[in-house]
Chain A
Amino acid sequence: MFSAFRPTQSCLGGLLWKSPWRLSSSQKHRHRQRLRHVDGIVEVVDKALAKQGMTSAAVERWKTEMPTEAKMKPRDKYTMFDPKQKSYRKGVHKLPKWTRMSQRINPPGF
């Protein structure tokens, strides 16, 4: 059972990638930190522009469309829409490069 040649899934079949079904609590914590970091950047940019009496279409659109971290439901923070799943949801960590992307809203109706 503990030998070097034990019949594990990766030994027998070759390639086996395991990624947990759900996020760990520390992953969720860091994810919330990243969400708040992005919120902070949008706020800094918006305030700086407002001081000069200017606006930016990209910032305005983000503010109208995207909820802040505090306003997001846990469901939207940690999972995302997936048409292939029975429940139409999968963990947000299944999204490639999920730590460097913004994934906050669902398609209409979901």
Chain B
Amino acid sequence: MASVTPKASWFKITLIRSGIGMTERQNGVLKALGLRHRMKTVYHPVSPDTAGMIMKVKELLAVSEVDKPLTPAEIHAKRQPPKGYYVEEPGALRNIESS
């Protein structure tokens, strides 16, 4: 089969229900996925292995397919509220004065 290789994609997995009180096996799967606490988001490549892990704890997760994974820093930046101000550049001010 020499067809075009499909573009790689990732699962965006968020833990929305806590694993407290679930079986050791399910908590082990959460640990293996890197989901340490609620609302933690991780990215895993789309593969049968990941799919099997998701299926083990599907009642606790929110899952979507994305084109590229975000880094923890990018996730953090996305969660920040707007600052409420912006800093003007000196050059922009001079242009307004001259016109």
Chains A and B form a bound pair: yes
- Whether A45 contacts B11 by the Cβ 8 Å rule is yes
- Whether B51 contacts A45 by the Cβ 8 Å rule is yes
Interface residues of A (CB under 8 A from B): 34, 37-38, 41-42, 44-45, 47-49, 51-59, 62, 97, 99-102
- Whether A100 contacts B55 by the Cβ 8 Å rule is no
A57 to chain B, nearest CB (A): 7
- Whether A38 contacts B58 by the Cβ 8 Å rule is yes
Specify which chain B residues have a CB less than 8 angstroms from the CB of A53 in the assembled complex: 6
For residue B42, CB closer than 8 A to chain A, the reply is no
A selection of 26 A-B contacts at a CB cut-off of 8 Å is: A38-B58, A38-B59, A41-B63, A42-B58, A44-B64, A45-B11, A45-B54, A45-B63, A47-B65, A48-B9, A48-B11, A48-B51, A49-B46, A49-B51, A51-B6, A51-B9, A52-B47, A53-B6, A54-B47, A56-B48, A56-B52, A57-B52, A58-B51, A62-B55, A97-B21, A100-B60
